[in-house]
Amino acid sequence: MENNITTTLTVEGNQQTTKRNPIARFFSAANRTRKKIVTSITTMVTMAMATAVTAFAEETAGEGGVVDGEAAFNQVIGFFATWIGRIGLVVAFVGGIMFALAIKNDDAEAKTRGLMTLASGFVVFALTLSLDLFGITA
């Protein structure tokens, strides 16, 4: 099988010219364009990340005023923590059922999976109860 894609060099005086395959020329041009685009996008993203934006929130006390940012954050975290803790208890319950069925079938691998699921559910629940350790008051 003959390779028709190779380049040939012809010498004209002191200058060498290369006859290249048109497909190779296309991919070479596309690669140069791709490099320019990637460099431009990288520069834009870097400049956007380097630009700092400062936002000021007004803190007022009253019914029609602006809500305190930290109190709103703690309220949202408290809501999520409550539901994540409930999901952790459901996972622990499922792990307990898996462990009970593994005892019934005398399957060592299933017992291990059940206990690991049970423990992971209780760990998730315990983390949601310990928000004060992280400086978040629910």
pLDDT tens across 54-107, in order? Answer: 666 555 555 555 568 778 888 888 888 899 999 999 999 999 999 999 998 888
- Give residue 126's pLDDT: 92
Q: Does the structure show a pLDDT above 80 at 39?
A: yes
Q: Does the structure show a pLDDT above 80 at 16?
A: no
CA distance 36 to 26: 16
Q: Which two three-digit tokens encode residue 118?
A: 């049970």
Instruction: Note whether 85 and 125 are within 8 A (CB).
Output: yes
Task: Report DSSP state, residue 59.
Answer: -
- Give residue 120's pLDDT: 95
CA distance 18 to 101: 75
- Give residue 14's pLDDT: 54
Q: What is the mean pLDDT of the segment spanning 37-50? A: 86
Q: Is the model's pTM score more than 0.85?
A: no
Helix (H) or strand (E) run with residue 72 in it: helix 69-105
